[in-house]
Amino acid sequence: MSKQRIGFIGVGLMGHGMAKNLVEKGFPLTVTANRNRTPVEDLVQRGATEVTTAKAVAEASDIVFICVTGAPEVDQVVNGPDGLRAGAAKGLFIVDCSTSEPTLTRRLAGELAGIGVTFLDAPLSRTPKEAFDGQLDVMAGGAEADLAHVRPAIEAFAGRIVHVGPVGAGHTMKIVNNFIAMGYAALYSEALTVAKANGVAPAAVNAVLSGGRMDCGFYQTFFKYVVGRDENAHRFSISNAHKDMRYLAAMAEATGIANPLGSAVKNYFAMAEAQGNGGKYVPMLSDEVARFNGVDLLAKG
C-alpha cells in the first residue's frame, strides 16, 4: 500500500524536524519556503519536492500539515491568494500543528467541510530537538475516524499522540499547556529575582530545587539557561509566549472565566517584548524580570 502524499507548510524550528522525519520514513513530501531557505534546501536534498505556493502544496497532497506562528498566519495559509483552499480537492485533510485560536480552528473546519476537506488540529509539545528526533507530543482535536486517517503520518514525528476531543480541543489544550509552562517561567523568574535580592544566587536556588519535588522537564531546560547560560536550551521566543497568553486571555473572556493569574503571566511577557526582547527565548525572561527590579542575577555576592 502506497504512503499518503504529504504537504508541509512552515518548516521552521519545529516544522523542519517534523518534515525531515516524514520524508525519511518514506512519505512523498511537498514543501514551500517562506523566508529561510536553509531547511527547504535540506529537505529537498532528502527527497522532498519544492513548490512555490500553498495552492500547489494542496494540489500535490493527500494530507497537508501547517506549522506556522499563529492564527493570522494559519488563516492566510488557508484562505490567502494561492492558499490551500484554492488548491484543495475533495478528500484533502489539513492538519494544523500551529498554536492557533480554537475559534478560528472551528470556523475553518466548518467552512472547509462544505467543500469536502477535513480540517484537524494537532498542536505540539516539547522542543525542536524532539521534532528532529521524531519524539514530539501531539494533542489532537477531531473525530476519531479522521484522526485514524492521519495518524500514520503524525506517528512519523510524534512519540505520543493524545486525542483530547473534537475539532478545536487540540488548540484549547495547547493554550492551556502553554499557560502552565509560561506560568512556570514567570514564577521562576520572579522567584530568582526575590532570592538574588536577598542574597541567594541562582545556582543555590537550582541546587535546592533540581532533583526535588518541584523539578520537571521544563524546569531543567529553563535552568540550563539560568545556570549554564545555554541560550538554545529552550528555543521558544518571548513574543510567541506573549501571543499564546493573549490567546488564553481571549479564550477565558469568551467563556466568562476569571483569569487574573493568566493576566499576570501575560504582562511579564508583554513588558519584556515592549522592551525589545521579543526575539529572546523564554528562559531569558529571568534576566528581564531581574532587570525590571534593578537586580543582576549574574552579579557576585
266 is an active site residue:
no
pLDDT of 2 reads 81
Helix axis angle for 260-272 and 285-292, nearest 10°, is 90
pLDDT of 124 reads 95
CATH node for 6-166: 3.40.50.720
pLDDT in tens, 9-44: 999 989 999 999 999 999 999 999 877 889 999 999
Catalytic residue among 174, 196, 243, 266: 174
Ranges of residues in the chain whose predicted pLDDT is under 70: 1
Domain boundaries, the chain: 6-166, 172-292
Using CB atoms within 10 A of its CB, is residue 132 exposed (0-12), middle (13-18) or buried (19+)?
A: middle
Grid coordinates representing 86?
484554492
Cβ–Cβ < 8 Å for 263, 270: no
pLDDT in tens, 41-61: 999 999 999 999 999 999 999
Residue 53's CB is within 10 A of a number of other CB atoms, namely: 17
pLDDT in tens, 184-203: 999 999 999 999 999 999 99
pLDDT of 151 reads 98
Cut 0.75: pTM above it: yes
Nearest to 90 by CA among 62, 57, 60, 117: 117
Dihedral pair phi/psi, residue 125, rounded to 5°: -135, 155
Q: One fold for both 6-166 and 172-292?
A: no
pLDDT of 126 reads 87
pLDDT of 1 reads 61
Nearest to 17 by CA among 135, 125, 100: 135
Give the whole-angstrom CA distance, residue 231 versus residue 254. 36
172-292 adopts what CATH topology? Answer: N-(1-d-carboxylethyl)-l-norvaline Dehydrogenase; domain 2 (1.10.1040)
